[in-house]
Amino acid sequence: MSLQASRNISRFWEWGRKIICVGRNYADHAKELKNAIPKEPVLFLKPPTAYVREGSPILVPLYTTNLHHEVELGVVIGKGGTAIPQSAAMEHVAGYALCLDMTARDIQDECKSKGLPWTMAKAFNTSCPVSEFIPKERIPDPGKVSLWLKVNDQLRQSGCTSQMIFSVPYLISYISDFITLEEGDLILTGTPKGVSAVQEHDELQAGIEDIVTMSFTVDRQDH
């Protein structure tokens, strides 16, 4: 494969770049988990090994009994930068992806109560199912798209990015002040309410309006 082909942004998940996640960016979700509404974005990271694509299962880590789905709009960075002003932020976007922020909620609760980082709850293998790449033109306003998620054909999450506390341009600017953004990075913008547990053999389906859909099965890790 030529260098050019291996660096096609439409396969950004193969690039080994950062996944920066925003938490508590929807008031209705912050409330359902009894968290305060944040005054500044809450951030955490997933490694690129967290990616999983349609056709491969989401694996439940052996150490959790409460794996939750969180459907989120992902923003794919096309042009890197540091200290990007909000007014220029959208110039740094190559496109979008529909993502799940799979979360071991029992482990996260334990980490929260002990004041420990969320890594075990958020960053494990297959914790970031991702759709195909959505070119920027297909979502003219990332602050106005609807997201949904079904488990075994039952609607669990349905929200609109207009409910986000911090907008996409604000997040790009805020993050880039202290983490240099690079081409191929992905920002997960937080989940609306309706998160719930998934079990082995469940079928997850999610979509952004009529722009993209994706489906995944859930399996148990076997070692």
> Smallest gap, in angstroms, from Cβ of residue 21 to Mg ion?
6
> Smallest gap, in angstroms, from Cβ of residue 105 to ligand OAA?
8
Residue 205, classed as helix, strand or coil, is: strand
Asked whether position 33 contacts ligand OAA by CB under 6 A, the answer is yes
Asked whether position 191 contacts Mg ion by CB under 5 A, the answer is yes
Among 60, 70, 124, 174, binds Mg ion (CB under 5 A): 70
Q: Which stretch binds Mg ion (CB under 5 A): 67-75, 108-116, 145-153, 197-205?
A: 67-75
> Smallest gap, in angstroms, from Cβ of residue 5 to ligand OAA?
33
Please identify, using beta-carbon distances, which residue of 101 and 185 lies nearer to Mg ion. 101
Residue 169, classed as helix, strand or coil, is: helix
For residue 40, CA distances in Å to 25, 51, 170, 174 come to 9, 27, 11, 9
Please identify, using beta-carbon distances, which residue of 81 and 148 lies nearer to Mg ion. 148
Asked whether position 74 contacts Mg ion by CB under 5 A, the answer is no
Q: Which stretch binds ligand OAA (CB under 6 A): 20-28, 78-86, 129-137, 177-185?
A: 20-28
Q: Are 129 and 99 in contact (CB under 8 A)?
A: yes
Contacted by 24, from ligand OAA, Mg ion, none: CB < 5 to 8 Å by type: ligand OAA
Distance CA 171, CA 34 (A): 23
Among 41, 46, 59, 70, binds ligand OAA (CB under 6 A): 70
Residue 43: name the closest of 146, 149, 185, 197 by CA: 185
> Smallest gap, in angstroms, from Cβ of residue 188 to Mg ion?
6
User: How many other C-beta atoms lie within 10 A of the C-beta of residue 182?
Assistant: 13
Residues 6+ positions from 172 with CB-CB distance below 8 Å: 75, 77, 84, 86, 89, 90, 92, 93, 181, 187
Length of the chain: 223
Q: Which stretch binds Mg ion (CB under 5 A): 2-10, 49-57, 64-72, 79-87?
A: 64-72
Site residues for Mg ion per CB under 5 A: 70, 101, 191
